[in-house]
Every structure is written in C-alpha cells, then in structure tokens.
C-alpha cells in the first residue's frame, strides 16, 4: 500500500518550489546574464540526469549499503525539486530573451 499523503505532500512541495522560481523577476537581467543563467540551469539539469543514471546503474549492479540509503534518498528528493525549478529557469530566460529581441 502506498502512502498517498506523502506522495501528495511531495508533489505539493515540488509545485510550490517551481512556482516560486517562476515568480522570480528575470526582467532586470540583461541578455548576457539571461544566457548565463539559462546555460547554468540547463547544465545543472543535465548533470543531475547523469547522476541519476549513474545511481540507477549502480543500484542494479550491487546491493546498496544501508548507511547510504538516507544519502541516496536526500539526493533523489533534492533532484526531484531542482529539475522542475531548473527547467523553469531555462524557460523564463528564453522567454525574456525572446521578448527583448522582439522589442
């Protein structure tokens, strides 16, 4: 049986975090800052994906050490929160760059 209250709480915290990132004002950043922020966010998201892939492959090939399970859990939870936020940052930067170019 799954704990739906944990799942709903977790999804809610991800949504809240992503919405907070979406509410940040990117309009005060210049083109270079927007490009830099977008690139860092995209590279960070890619790095997290590579880390998750490595973690998945490592777990398939050996038994996890019980002491490391809490570290793995924290990493996965942080990744789940950061990936949507990083993608929102990429989207917001691209949106503001497009608006600045159109003006």
Residue 7 domain-assigned (yes or no): no
Q: State pLDDT tens for residues 44-60.
A: 878 778 777 777 777 77
Q: How many domains does the chain have?
A: 1
What are the percentages of helix, strand and coil residues in the chain, rounded to 5? 85, 0, 15
| Enclosing domain of residue 45 | 31-102
Residue 14 domain-assigned (yes or no): no
With left for phi above 0 and alpha for psi between -120 and 50, is residue 96 left, alpha or beta?
A: alpha
Instruction: From first to last of the 103 residues of the chain, give the pLDDT tens digit.
Output: 455 555 556 567 878 877 887 787 888 888 898 888 888 888 887 877 877 777 777 777 776 666 666 667 777 777 887 888 888 888 888 888 888 888 7
């Amino acid at each position: 049986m799954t704990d739906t209250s944990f799942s709903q709480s977790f999804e809610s915290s991800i949504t809240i975090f992503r919405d907070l990132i979406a509410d940040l004002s990117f309009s005060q950043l210049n083109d270079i800052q927007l490009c830099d922020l977008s690139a860092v966010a995209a590279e960070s998201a890619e790095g997290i994906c590579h880390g998750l892939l490595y973690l998945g492959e490592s777990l398939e090939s050996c038994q996890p050490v019980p002491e490391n399970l809490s570290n793995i859990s924290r990493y996965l939870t942080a990744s789940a929160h950061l990936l949507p936020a990083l993608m929102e940052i990429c989207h917001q930067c691209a949106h503001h760059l497009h608006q600045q170019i159109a003006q």
